[in-house]
Amino acid sequence: MAPRTATLVLSGGGAKGAFQVGAERVLREDSGYRWDRVFGVSVGALNATLIGQGEQRRLLDVWRSIREKDVHRRFSWFGVGLRIALLKRRGLHDNRPLRTTLERHAAGRPFEIPVHVGRVSLVTGNYELVRENEPGFLDAVWHSATMPVIWEPVGEHAWVDGGIRNVTPLGDALKHEPGEIVVIECDTGRLDASDPPGNIFEAARRSLSEVAINEIMHNDVREFVRINELVKQAEAAGVVLRNPDGTPLRHCPITIVKPEEQLGDTLDFSSAMIEHRIRAGETAARKAVATDCASR
């Protein structure tokens, strides 16, 4: 099969990021995709790092062996109260174990393709994109995966999850004029009903990762697809649509891979659920490619 070059865009989604690993494997091994760049935020930043290093096998092993203790340290509600009231902590739990896990699996390995990850400063409110060849890149990956409120913002800039501003970094990818884009999301686009949150931790997780960020992500993708289709129609009619700065808009082929069913709790790192998400990613990728081929 002839290689098919594309830019890969990986969304956020916490532990549901295992879905991306299964999907990426099928796209690369079965459909011949080769990535010229990878963009990621939140868990997408973590996955993008090892994909950019050509370490997909290692990435799969990491997901299959990861445990909650490798990601964060939970505290009792008494411990949470002490952290907030006495220690002036700004997060319910401690995700420094995630930084250690990232160091163990990604530090010191060369990159085969460019990787871009996004993070947000709660001091300035600005979104910042960091490349793999910049100092402190692994720190930026950790920052990108730090969910505010649930985990403590990092450093004097109070860095947090890039997904609160840019869940699916399509705009970042388009600036590099890709020939084709593949987006792997971790949510269906639907927001299913759930039981009322039982505590502040569940309320924070539901509000941020399952409601607000979900809506940002799907609005982002829907808007891109809408404009992309308008550009395609205009090109067919001999009309050039332009950005506000006068530069022409260009149609870019896009394949979107997302699950058909909800993939459980954002912080559920149980082995059975991780494996289920990997398999769901493989199935969704095969279906997305078949649909894409049928429409061309």
pLDDT surpasses 90 at 38: yes
Residue partners of 215: CB distance under 8 A and separation at least 6: 191
Q: What percent of the chain has pLDDT over 70?
A: 84
Residue in 7, 52, 35, 15 with CA at minimum distance from that of residue 170? 7
The per-residue pLDDT for 3 is 82
The predicted pLDDT at position 171 comes to 73
The predicted pLDDT at position 193 comes to 57
Q: How would you write 76-125 as a 3-class SS string?
A: CHHHHHHHHHCCCCCEEEECHHHHHHHHHHHCCCCCCCCEEEEEEECCCC
Encoded tokens for 277? 């998400």
> 222 pLDDT band (50/70/90 cuts)?
confident
Cα distance between residue 240 and residue 248, in whole Å: 6
- Two tokens, residue 3: 């290689």
Residue 192 has pLDDT above 70, yes or no: no
pLDDT per residue over 131-155, tens digit each?
999 999 999 999 999 988 788 889 9
pLDDT at 191: 58
Q: How large is the average pLDDT for residues 231-236?
A: 87
CB atoms within 10 A of CB 122: 15
Number of CB atoms found within 10 A of residue 220's CB: 18
Confidence band for 250, pLDDT divided at 50, 70 and 90: confident
Is residue 29 within 8 A of residue 184, CB to CB? The reply is no
Of 230 and 202, the structure prediction assigns the larger pLDDT to: 230
Predicted local distance difference test score (pLDDT) of residue 216: 63
What predicted TM-score, i.e. pTM, was given to this entire model?
0.87
Instruction: State yes or no: pLDDT of 214 exceeds 90.
Output: no
